[in-house]
Amino acid sequence: MQAQKTVLPNGLRVLTERLDHIDSVSLGVWVTTGSKDEPRGSEGITHLLEHMLFKGTETRSTRQIAEAMDDVGGHVNGFTDRESVYLFARTIGEQTETALGLLFDLLLQSVFAEDDLRREKQVVVQEIGHAEDSPEGWVHELLPQVAWPDHGLGRPLMGSRESVAAFSRDSLLGHREELCAADRLVVTAAGAVEHDRVVDLASRLGGELNPGRPRAEEVPPVFHSERRLISRASAQVHFCLATPGCARRDEARHALAVLDVILGGGSSSRLFQEIRENRGLAYGIGSYLQSYRDAGLLIIDGGTGPENFELVLELIAREVDRLRAEGPSPDELERAKTQFKVAVALAAESTSFRMQHLAASEIVWGRVLPFEEILAGVESVTAEDVHELAAAAFTEGRQALVAIGPLDSAEAQPTHD
C-alpha cells in the first residue's frame, strides 16, 4: 500500500505505510533538530535530554516507564544524531495506541527531576569516557570535528565533561520547549497500521502543541584538510580518512553511493582486495558515506599495526589514484549497482527501516521517496559519473585524517582529544 501523509492544523506531520500480511508495527516520533543546532557552549544538551526522557514523567515513575515498555511487549528506545532526535517503538499492531501514547509521554511530559539529572549527567560522563577508551569507535566521533571544526556538524554529539556538568533542569526544560514545536515533529508508522487511527492518536497527543519560531537559514560547513594523530597504547592504529561527499539532496548522491561500493563497500571492493586479501595488512578496511542536509563525507576506515600504518595510507592513495585515472570497470559498475539494489530490497522487508525511511524522506524532501525512484537513480549511474567524482576525491586539500594508536610521529598528540 502506498504511504499516506497528513499535516495537522498546528503543523505536526503524520506519515504511515500499511504493510499487509505483517502483524508488527514500528512507530517513531521524530524531532527535526539535533546536536548540529545546539548553541555554542551547550554541546551535548540534546543527547542528555534524550537520556532524561526515560527517567520519569508527570504520570509515570522510572519503574512505571520500564513496566509500560514491557507492557508494549516489543522494543522502545531513543536516539540522538546531528540532525534529529527520535523515540521509537516496535510492537504488534494492536499495541499501537499504547506505544504511541508512551512515546509522546516520554517526549512531552518528562519531569527531569534534579536527583535523576545529577545521576544521568554522571552516566553521560562515563559514556564519554567509554567512547574515548574505544579508539575504533572514537575516531568516527572525532572525524566530523576535524573535517568541519567551524560548524554545528563538527561539534561533539555527546558534548564534553564540562558542558554536561553545567546543564541544569531549567536548561533542559527550555531546550525541550524549543525542540518540541509542532512543526518540528514528525510521526511515522509502518506495518500493521491504519492511517486514520494514527492521525487521530497524534492529534490527541500532540495537537495542542504550538508551531516553533522560524529557523535561521542553514549554512553548509567548510571542509578542512587536516591530520590529527592521537598517541594511545593499543595494539592497532584505528583511522578514518575523509573527503567531501554529498548532501542528502545532491544530484551526485547516487553516483557517490556507487563509488563508495567500488572503493570499499564490500569484500570485492578495491581496498578490501588489495589491503586485506592481497597483502594481509588489515582485518577490517572499507568505506562508507555520512550524509546530512547540507553536506556529507566519503570516509575510508580501518585498523592496522603501527608498523604498517603509513604503508596502508600509501596503498589507499594508490587505489584512489587508479580509480581516478581509469574509472570503474564495467563489471565493477554492475556489481556495485547490484549490491546497492539487494541491500535496499533486504532492508525494505523491515518495518523499522520503512518507518525510518518515511521520516528521512519527509524531513529531507518533504515527500516520501519511492524505493523504485531510488533504485532508478542508482541504475542510471554511468562509469563517467563515477570517474568524475573519483577525480576530485582525496586530492590535496580535500583530505581529513584522524588516527588513534601507538604512533611515534611528532604530529601525534599524547592524550585524549
Q: Tell me the catalytic residues.
A: 50
Cα gap 64→320, rounded to integer Å: 54
Going from the C-alpha of 326 to that of each of 51, 323, 342, the distances in angstroms are: 49, 5, 26
Beta bridge partners of 13: 7, 186
* Whole-number Å distance between alpha carbons of 90 and 72: 8
- Cβ burial, residue 28 (10 Å; 0-12/13-18/19+): buried
C-alpha cell at 175: 531546550
Report how far residue 72's alpha carbon sits from residue 264's, in angstroms, rounded to the nearest whole number.
40
Angle (CA) 183-112-69 rounded to 5° is 80
Grid coordinates in use for 306?
Answer: 603501527
Reading the block at residue 160, the C-alpha cell is: 564534553
CA atoms within 13 Å, Cβ hemisphere of 314? 7
- Say how far apart CA 368 and CA 359 lie, in whole Å: 8
At 373, list the grid cell.
Answer: 525512484
Cell 604530529 found at: 411
The C-alpha torsion from 372 through 377 and 380 to 381, rounded to 10°, is -140
- Cβ contact 290:243 at 8 Å: no
Cell of 243: 573527503
Is residue 175 helix, strand or coil? Answer: helix
